[in-house]
Amino acid sequence: MKRTNNYEVTSLDMQKQQEMIEAMRSMNEGAKEVKKYIIVTYGCQMNEHDSEKIAGMLQNMGYHETTDKKDADLIIYNTCCVRENAELKVYGNLGSLKNLKKKKEDMIIAVCGCMMQQPQVVEEIKKKYRHVDLVFGTHNLHKFPELLVNAKHSDNMLVEVWENEGEIIEGVPVIRKYELKTFVNIMFGCNNFCTYCIVPYTRGRERSREVQDIINEVKDLAENGTKEITLLGQNVNSYGKTLEEGITFAGLLRKLNEIEGIERIRFMTSHPKDLSEELIDVMAECKKVSPHMHLPFQAGSNKVLKAMNRSYTKESYLALVDNLKRKVPDVAITSDIIVGFPGETEADFQDTMEIVERVRFDSVFTFIYSKRQGTPAAEMKDHISDEVVHDRFNRLVRKINEICAEINRSYLNKEVEVLVEGPSKTDNERLMGRTGQSKLVNFDGDFSLIGKLVKIKITDPKTFSLNGEVVEE
Ligand code: SAH
Ligand code: SF4
Ligand code: F3S
């Protein structure tokens, strides 16, 4: 069944949001001191961008950002539950706020994001973290102003988590962390149900934003100085499937490529099962679409891939990569890998190593399998011992780093084009930027270069970054 976005619901919801924002703003403007907030974000870019929306709503409500917890009137944890350690960090940090809350009783503590979509987590918070004032989920983010107003007037913890996703809500205000390069949601949710993954349960079913809404947002960004956009979705290659106008992800990229002022278009994440020939062609043709493909393969063994419900094989993945490299010769390929999925044998792990050696990834996020309650893999037999998993993990990371260093060494004396982002993280008197392939480059240069595309000659490649100098034209 096709589904379109329902604007009637959207505009009503937005009206309510606006009323609540204004009510809070007039309250804050009348207060003796400025109200301050901190948002602590865990997890992926989707969560980072959600936090930018929360910040947008808060600043419209008259709140100012602070970096000091003791100074904050409102602390929000935007949580992730993709792996157990992400959850443990949240519980630890929430616990440590207990004393602060005792000293500052009118401080509001809110928790939101993916963790809250799990009923057992909400129960735990109700039981053990009573100093929390507000709990909400991923599907009712736009209702945050109303929830905050209600939480302020309530003596009890206010919990509102929607089990199911509603329509896409357009027009939520956003405060973007960086104006030069920024995120744009193109779709929400996921229908893939990889057997290890909690995301389909926390983010709901897949739904795409209307093309025109995306174009309007990107044009607006370009007019305000944005040079690079990263299109976000759990599976961008299936963009458009829920829309009536019959557009593909490749078609969307072609349209965005026309927008004046935008220099680079990135996207993540691509699922190998949906990566079309058309998308590869668009990457080869469209100048602004960066030659970088993040293409998680998770595991090399066909047996493990099947148990993960990934719908491709080692052979089809390698063929896809060959095709990509043939049509886009300067492409950088990056990936995600999980080590220690239930039932993974040493021979299965060797299949993962083989893909790493054959593809030669520019970088890889490596994860140790983490059992997630409610997913099919949690019920599978043959969970792998910590010792075996760590040994495999270390061998894998060593191999990946060796290859990364080799690839980076091949950049010596080459010229690359870098979008200059700002001061370097390691030395704030130098500059940093990224190539189209997403390689981090540090160099000396005038700060007036920030925001420009600049040619850099690589003089000193490292394993995870490149050092270079500006090529005088
Ligand atoms: N939608 C994206 C990424 C989602 S989560 C995709 O499909 O590629 C990001 C990464 O976390 C995944 O690619 C996977 O490698 C990892 N991951 C997800 N669930 C995990 C789990 N239970 N244990 C370990 N790693 C996991
Ligand atoms: Fe999770 Fe798979 Fe969906 Fe990615 S595609 S979010 S790994 S279920
Ligand atoms: Fe992202 Fe974590 Fe949710 S990876 S989608 S924030 S579970």
Residue 227: CATH number of its domain: 3.30.750.210
Pocket test for ligand 2, best of 45, 46, 188, 190 (most atoms within 8 A of CB): 190
The pLDDT assigned to 34 comes to: 92
Same domain, 60 and 78: yes
**What CATH number does the domain containing 383 carry?**
3.30.750.200
From the number of C-beta atoms within 10 Å of its C-beta (0-12, 13-18, 19+), residue 5 rates as: middle
**Domain residues for 430?**
415-470
**In whole angstroms, what is the distance from residue 430 CA to residue 448 CA?**
12
Q: Is the pLDDT of residue 8 over 70?
A: no
User: Which ligand 2 atom sits closest to the C-alpha of 310?
Assistant: 2
| Residue 295 shares a structural domain with residue 318 | yes
- Pick the atom of ligand 2 nearest to 235's CA: 5
Q: What is the distance in A from the centroid of ligand 3 to the CA of 431?
A: 31
Task: Tell me if 232 CB under 6 Å of ligand 3.
Answer: no
Mean pLDDT along residues 309-326: 98
The residue among 93, 128, 162 that closes a domain is: 162
pLDDT at residue number 45: 93
Query: Which ligand has an atom closest to residue 294 CA?
Result: 1
**Cα separation, 209 vs 325, whole angstroms:** 30
What per-residue confidence (pLDDT) applies to 249?
97
User: Do 419 and 399 belong together in one domain?
Assistant: no
Torsion angle defined by CA atoms of residues 384, 390, 395 and 400, in that order, rounded to the nearest 10 degrees? 100
Backbone φ and ψ for 266, nearest 5 degrees, come out as: -115, 170
Locate the ligand 1 atom nearest the alpha carbon of residue 235 and give its number: 1
In a domain, residue 322? The reply is: yes
pLDDT of residue 7 exceeding 50? no
Q: How confident is the model at residue 4 (pLDDT cuts 50, 70, 90)?
A: very low
- Span from the CA of 185 to the centroid of ligand 1 (angstroms): 18
- The Å distance, Cα 201 to ligand 2 centre, comes to 10
Total count of domains within the chain = 4
Bond prior to 269 in cis (omega within 30° of 0)? yes
Query: Please, are residues 294 and 331 in contact by the beta-carbon 8 Å criterion?
Result: no
> pLDDT band for position 10 (50/70/90)?
low
* Nearest ligand by distance to the CA of 49: 3
Cα angle value 336/374/133 (rounded, 5°): 95
**Alpha-carbon dihedral angle through residues 347, 352, 357, 359, given to the nearest 10 degrees:** 140
Distance of CA 438 to the CA centre of its chain: 15
Averaged pLDDT score across all residues of the chain = 94
- pLDDT category at 16 given cuts 50, 70, 90 is confident
CATH for 148: 3.40.50.12160
One domain, residues 27 and 152 = yes
Per residue in 402-443, pLDDT (tens digit) is 999 999 999 999 999 999 999 999 999 999 999 999 999 999
Rounded to whole angstroms, what are the CA distances from 200 to 135, 300, 360, 375, 459? 20, 23, 30, 10, 45
Separation of CA 192 and ligand 2 centre (Å): 6
Residue 434 within a domain:
yes
Whole-angstrom Cα distance, residue 51 to residue 41? 7
Angle at Cα 340 formed by Cα 337 and Cα 341, nearest 5°?
85
pLDDT tens by residue, 109-149: 999 999 999 999 999 999 999 999 999 999 999 999 999 99
Ligand 3 atom closest to the Cα of residue 234 is 5
Residues 120 and 25 in one domain: yes
The last residue of one of the domains, among 379, 409, 439, is: 409
Hey, how many other C-beta atoms are within 10 angstroms of the C-beta on 329?
A: 9
The reply to whether 338 falls in a domain is yes
Q: How far apart are CA 459 and CA 467, in angstroms?
A: 6
| pLDDT score at 321 | 98
303 phi/psi in degrees, rounded to 5:
-65, -45
User: Are 19 and 157 contained in the same domain?
Assistant: yes
Task: Give the mean pLDDT of 80-106.
Answer: 94
Looking at 289, 310, 339, the residue that finishes a domain is 289
Q: Are residues 356 and 248 in the same domain?
A: no
Same domain? 262 vs 343: no
DSSP 3-state of 417: strand
247 and 302 inside one domain: no
Instruction: Give residue 245's pLDDT.
Output: 87
Which residue puts its alpha carbon closest to atom 21 of ligand 1? 370
Is residue 400 within 8 Å of 366, Cβ to Cβ? yes
> Does residue 197 have a pLDDT over 80?
yes
Average pLDDT over residues 170-186: 89
Mean pLDDT of the 244-257 span: 95
Q: Is residue 43 part of a domain?
A: yes
| 379 belongs to a structural domain | yes
Length of the chain equals 473
* Shared domain check, 263 and 397: no
pLDDT tens by residue, 149-160: 999 999 899 999
d(CA 195, CA 188): 19
For ligand 2, whether the C-beta of 199 sits within 6 Å is: yes
145: left (phi over 0), alpha (psi -120 to 50) or beta: alpha
What average pLDDT score do residues 237-242 get? 94
Residue 281 binned pLDDT confidence (cut-offs 50, 70, 90): very high
Q: Do residues 10 and 137 share a domain?
A: yes
pLDDT exceeds cutoff 80 at 76:
yes
Closest ligand 2 atom to Cα of 200: 8
Q: Which residues contact 74 (CB under 8 A, 6 or more apart)?
A: 35, 36, 37, 38, 58, 63, 107, 108, 109, 110, 148
Can you tell me whether residue 10 is helix, strand or coil?
A: helix
CA of 23 to the centre of ligand 1 (A): 40
Residue 42: pLDDT above 90? yes
Name the closest-CA residue to atom 5, ligand 3.
199
**Among the ranges 28-32, 66-70, 293-297, which has the highest mean pLDDT value?**
293-297
Q: Where are the beta strands (DSSP E) in 215-322?
A: 228-232, 264-268, 292-294
For the Cβ of 194 lying below 6 angstroms from any atom of ligand 2, the answer is yes
Are residues 302 and 390 part of one domain?
A: yes
The pLDDT-based confidence of 324 (bands split at 50, 70, 90) is: very high
**pLDDT tens digit sequence for 332-377:** 999 999 999 999 999 999 999 999 999 999 999 999 999 999 999 9
Backbone dihedral region of 472: left (phi > 0), alpha (psi from -120 to 50 degrees) or beta? beta
**16 contacts 22 by C-beta, under 8 angstroms:** no
**Would you state the structure tokens that stand for residue 436, as one six-digit string?**
């189209």
Q: Which 8-state DSSP code applies to residue 384? A: P
Take residue 153 and report the two structure tokens written for it.
């007037």
In-domain check, residue 173: no
Q: 2: pLDDT confidence band, cut at 50, 70 and 90? A: very low
Q: How far apart are CA 122 and CA 314, in angstroms?
A: 39
Query: How far, in Å, is the centroid of ligand 3 from the Cα of 172?
Result: 20
Q: What was the pLDDT predicted at 32?
A: 85
Sheet holding 292-294, edge to edge: 292-294, 332-339, 363-368
Q: Is the CB of 193 under 6 A from ligand 2?
A: yes
Q: At 462, which CATH number?
A: 2.40.50.140
With the most atoms of ligand 1 within 8 angstroms of its CB, the residue from 311, 338, 363 to mutate is: 338
User: Is residue 170 a part of any domain in this protein?
Assistant: no
Give distance in angstroms: CA of 309 to centre of ligand 2: 10
> How many whole angstroms from 408 Cα to the centroid of ligand 3?
30
Q: Is 375 in the pocket of ligand 3 (CB under 6 A)?
A: no
Q: Is 301 in the pocket of ligand 3 (CB under 6 A)?
A: no
Query: Is 52 within the bounds of a domain?
Result: yes
Higher pLDDT, 164 or 222: 222
Q: Which atom of ligand 2 is least distant from the CA of 336?
A: 7
Q: How confident is the model at residue 169 (pLDDT cuts 50, 70, 90)?
A: confident
Whether residue 300 contacts residue 352, with contact meaning beta carbons closer than 8 Å, is answered with yes
- Ligand 1 is surrounded, with C-beta below 6 A, by 82-83, 196-197, 199, 234-235, 269, 271, 296, 298, 336, 338, 367, 369-370, 372
Q: Residue 262 is encoded by which pair of tokens?
A: 């935008």
Mean pLDDT for 313-339 is 98
Q: What does the pLDDT read at residue 176?
A: 86
Cβ–ligand 3 contact at 47 (below 6 Å) = yes
On the 0-12 / 13-18 / 19+ scale of CB atoms within 10 A, 330 is exposed
